[in-house]
């Protein structure tokens, strides 16, 4: 049974997630929309040269200012629309998943935890079956904080780490044929499930192995962690504009040189662009989310005080 304070905490966290995610998402869409409006997207020119169907899905001439505004304001965050920025298909899952994570965290008993798991699975079936491994991953993440991987045997820790590497690279390669042949489900949902399992094993490995903890605690990785959300939001429009321009400019020397040049320049440019985005957008979104939460908490306190005062006069 949730206490009043736990319910308030849940509502507070739920409300804070909207500006926390929504502001950076909107900024990345405006960024992509500005590049598109200036005619700098080159992905449709590169698509036939590389045979990429994926590149043909984005930035057609039919995109309008209304499309940009709707995706920035609500479609990407709540519906997972991603015409302007491909990675944003995950944002609606991230939003719902964060609420599921709160529910899992508040489930102090194993029976309640199981009920939340059933609810997450039912929600995935109702919305889209492909979301099932992602929804359950939030619960598994909470579960890892309760099972203490550091207490596992050394052999188990190494086995899980090796499994993380193997499953994290799951594809239609010959290395994975035994799993593909034995699986009763199609390849794409199987791939998503295996990647989720691989990611879970990798997190468990970091929690279990002090050597990995020391490695990921060095200067570079914490910095990359702080920049990760900004990199995630910015890399696709940079790839489709600057990256594709570099590819078109260097293709005269062959695909290998063009592809490697594109990777290096997009990677460096994205990390550089992520620094001001982090400071001006990502950090500010956290501050706005905190202020919204403080305002709503204050409003609830004032409302409760007025109700008590009204009751005392009756």
Question: For 168-212, what is each residue's pLDDT tens digit?
Answer: 999 988 889 888 888 888 888 889 889 999 999 999 999 998 888
pLDDT at 160 over 90: yes
pLDDT at 266 over 80: yes
Report the percentage of the chain scoring pLDDT > 70.
93
Which two tokens mark 131? Answer: 């979301």
Query: What is the pTM (predicted TM-score) of this model?
Result: 0.84
Greatest mean pLDDT range, 12-26, 166-180, 269-283 = 269-283
Rounded to the nearest 10 degrees, the angle between the axes of helix 132-147 and helix 187-208 is 20
pLDDT at 2 over 60: no
pLDDT at 5 over 90: no
pLDDT digits (tens, 9 = 90+) for 75-103: 998 888 889 999 999 898 888 888 888 88
Between 8 and 241, the higher pLDDT residue: 241
Q: What does the pLDDT read at residue 4?
A: 56
Greatest mean pLDDT range, 53-57, 116-120, 149-153 = 53-57
Q: What does the pLDDT read at residue 314?
A: 59
Q: What is the DSSP letter of 73?
A: I
**What does the buried/exposed string (b/e) look like for 164-188 if buried means 16 or more CB atoms within 10 Å of the residue's CB?**
beebbebeeeeebeeebeeeeeeee
Which two tokens mark 25? Answer: 């998402």
Q: What is the DSSP letter of 171?
A: S
DSSP for 223-286, please give it: HHHHHHHHHHHHHHHHIIIIIHHHHHHHGGG-HHHHHHHHHHHHHHHHHHHHHHHIIIIIHHHH
Q: How far apart are CA 70 and CA 12, in angstroms?
A: 26
Q: What is the mean pLDDT of the chain?
A: 87
Q: What does the pLDDT read at residue 12?
A: 74
Whether the Cβ atoms of residue 91 and residue 103 lie closer than 8 Å to each other: no
Please calculate the CA angle 51-53-58 and round it to the nearest 5 degrees.
125
Which two tokens mark 257? Answer: 């040189």
Which two tokens mark 147? Answer: 């099972």
Structure confidence at residue 149 as a pLDDT band (50, 70, 90): confident
Whether the Cβ atoms of residue 201 and residue 160 lie closer than 8 Å to each other: yes
Mean pLDDT confidence for 279-304 = 83
Between 143 and 239, the higher pLDDT residue: 239
Whether the Cβ atoms of residue 205 and residue 163 lie closer than 8 Å to each other: no
Question: In sequence order, which ranges of 38-153 are alpha helices (DSSP H)?
Answer: 43-50, 65-70, 91-106, 110-127, 132-147
pLDDT at 3 over 70: no
Q: What does the pLDDT read at residue 95?
A: 87
Alpha-carbon distances of 109 from 24, 68, 81, 104, 268, rounded to whole Å:
35, 44, 36, 10, 47
Which two tokens mark 218? Answer: 């060095």
Q: What does the pLDDT read at residue 93?
A: 87
The CB density around residue 153, as the number of other CB atoms within 10 Å, is 9
Between 128 and 99, the higher pLDDT residue: 99
The CB density around residue 4, as the number of other CB atoms within 10 Å, is 7
pLDDT at 313 over 70: no
- Among 94-108, 122-136, 225-239, which stretch is predicted with the lowest mean pLDDT? 122-136
């Amino acid at each position: 049974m949730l206490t009043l304070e736990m319910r308030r905490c849940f509502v507070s966290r739920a409300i804070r997630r909207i500006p926390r995610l929504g502001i950076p998402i909107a900024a990345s869409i405006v960024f992509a929309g500005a590049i598109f409006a200036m005619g700098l997207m080159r992905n449709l020119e590169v698509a036939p040269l590389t045979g990429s169907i994926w590149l043909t899905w984005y930035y057609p001439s039919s995109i309008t200012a209304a499309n940009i505004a709707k995706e920035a304001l609500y479609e990407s965050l709540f519906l997972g629309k991603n015409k302007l920025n491909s990675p944003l298909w995950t944002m609606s899952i991230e939003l719902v998943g964060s609420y599921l994570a709160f529910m899992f965290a508040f489930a102090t008993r194993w029976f309640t935890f199981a009920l939340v798991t059933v609810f997450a699975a039912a929600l995935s079936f109702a919305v889209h079956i492909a979301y099932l491994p992602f929804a359950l991953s939030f619960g598994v993440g909470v579960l890892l904080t309760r099972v203490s991987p550091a207490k596992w045997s050394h052999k188990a820790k190494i086995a899980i780490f090796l499994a993380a590497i193997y499953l994290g690279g799951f594809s239609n390669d010959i290395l994975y044929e035994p799993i593909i042949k034995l699986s009763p489900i199609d390849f794409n949902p199987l791939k998503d499930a295996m990647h989720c399992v691989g990611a879970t094993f990798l997190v468990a490995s970091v929690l279990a192995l002090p050597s990995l903890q020391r490695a990921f605690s060095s200067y570079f990785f914490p910095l990359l962690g702080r920049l990760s959300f900004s990199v995630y939001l910015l890399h696709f429009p940079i790839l489709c504009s600057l990256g594709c321009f570099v590819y078109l400019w260097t293709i005269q020397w062959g695909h290998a040189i063009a592809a490697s040049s594109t990777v290096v320049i997009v990677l460096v440019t994205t990390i550089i662009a992520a620094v001001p985005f982090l400071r001006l957008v990502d950090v500010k979104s956290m501050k706005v989310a905190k202020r919204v939460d403080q305002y709503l908490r204050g409003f609830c306190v004032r409302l409760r005080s007025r109700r008590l005062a009204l009751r005392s006069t009756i």
